[in-house]
Amino acid sequence: MPNRVIKVHQRNNSMQLINCLSSLLAMELLYPSSIMYLISPWISDTPILSNQFGQFRSIIPVKETCTLGLKDVLSLIVDRGSNVRIVTRDIDINHKFLRALPDKIERKFVHELHQKGWITNSFYLRGSMNFTHSGINLNDENIEITTDENDIARALIDTRHLWEVS
């Protein structure tokens, strides 16, 4: 799967996007990246990984039928050795989420941030989606996911530059 495009329209079901995010998160829980960047101007602790049928019971240490929020999943990933960095705007709505995260998760504020993405050693997700309930479940979104090593390398270089100069 070098590239995959997911288009979510509000009047349609967003299950394709949710299932894709669940798969990517499960992969990160099994094989954590050495570094992960989550870039989102708006970010909140939205439910993001459903274990409703116990399908992830072997990789998440919680009761079998639950849904984990973004905070819980990022906390598990950082506990498994990944260096997690979040790039977001310095606005009140984001601070509630950021205060709930473990100190091991690094934060960077960029005033005019509009870029959105998620970059790991294995994939690069980019598009119009903020990592919020509305972004994942309600809004019309256009997301591209690539596993192409060159695309991932370029995205990591660009994001490291953003991290260092902002």
| Domains of the chain: residue spans and CATH | 3-165 (3.30.870.10)
User: How far is the C-alpha of 161 from the C-alpha of 166, rounded, in Å?
Assistant: 8
Q: How many CA atoms lie within 13 A of 120 on its CB side?
A: 21
Q: Is the pLDDT of residue 10 over 70?
A: no
Q: What is the mean pLDDT of the chain?
A: 89
Q: Is the pLDDT of residue 8 over 80?
A: no
Q: Is the pLDDT of residue 43 over 70?
A: yes
Per residue, the 3-state secondary structure of 110-133, as one string, reads CCCCCCCEEECCCCEEEECCCECH
Length of the chain: 166
